[in-house]
Amino acid sequence: MQIHETIAGLRAARARAGPGKRLALVPTMGNLHDGHVALMTQARAHADQVIATIFVNRLQFRPGEDFEKYPRSFAADCERLAAAGVEHLFAPDETEMYPQPQTYHIEPPPEQAGILDGEFRPGHFRGVATVVMKLFQIAQPDIALFGKKDYQQLMVICNMVREFNLPIEIVGGETVRAADGLALSSRNGYLSAVERTEAPRLFRVLTKVIDAVRGGARDFPLLEQGAISELQGNGWVPDYVALRKKLDLQLPSAHDSGLVVLAAARLGSTRLIDNLEV
Ligand code: PAF
């Protein structure tokens, strides 16, 4: 695997790949787990060469969030990527990505980026969309893959690509879970042993919600409140549990199908997110 720390280095490698080669991009912030590896494997199936990126993007963190302590495990990440058959790793530092403060941004519309996670992390999706647009311009991939665990992020990126007519196919990778249901996340490492035992409850309460919807329940606020109460009763501080339309994450009416239930909740100092499609 070739490691590129500069934009010029990655672009030169891209040029060497030659015309007609299909390139897949898998952007990450590192501390890779099996969910990332599954994305790399999926990328491999779609493309001639896979470019992974590792960059902890300051723009998408709010003051007081975990930018400084975000887990960084570069050597182990490189081993995992090489074992997954990734050809190129783009791992720039901050001065390479932001040689001067970024003054131009991609501003996703509030109805997509100001709801759910965007309500609790204002500016988060602006930071994500801006760095993803930069990565797209730098790597110029044919296809890019993102995990469905970050469901709202995937929706924002799909809409950005469509509205800017970027010639990039966006593919969502299924969420990879531990045997007890906990969605794999780089932030799971923050959990204490006791919290790790409690953490799969998030998956279980979401499963209850989608089972109820599949069984014909249509009082969505009641289902959301039931899930919130169960989390609160077990020491969680939920930001939201929300049943939404899959396509645009807007509020569904009782006769809508194609739903997704999304949640974000704090367990101790760790904020976990998850979702399940109905
Ligand atoms: O999902 C992530 O890891 C990040 O939000 C992304 C897409 C790499 C942008 O920094």
pLDDT, one tens digit per residue, over 229-256 is 999 999 999 999 999 999 999 999 999 9
Q: Which atom of ligand 1 is nearest to the CA of 27?
A: 8
pLDDT band at 100 (very low <50, low <70, confident <90, very high): very high
Say what the pTM is: 0.97
pLDDT band at 19 (very low <50, low <70, confident <90, very high): confident
- Cα–Cα distance, 55 to 78 (Å, whole number): 13
Domain annotation for the chain: domains and CATH numbers: 2-173 (3.40.50.620), 186-277 (3.30.1300.10)
Spell out the residues 6+ positions from residue 244 whose beta carbon is closer than 8 angstroms to its own.
116, 250, 251, 252, 259, 260, 261, 262
With 90 as the cut, is the pLDDT of residue 192 above it?
A: yes
Pocket lining: 186 vs ligand 1, CB cutoff 6 Å:
no
Sheet holding 270-277, edge to edge: 236-245, 259-267, 270-277
- Cα–Cα distance, 148 to 146 (Å, whole number): 7
Pocket lining: 150 vs ligand 1, CB cutoff 6 Å:
yes
Our answer to whether residue 36 is catalytic in this structure is yes
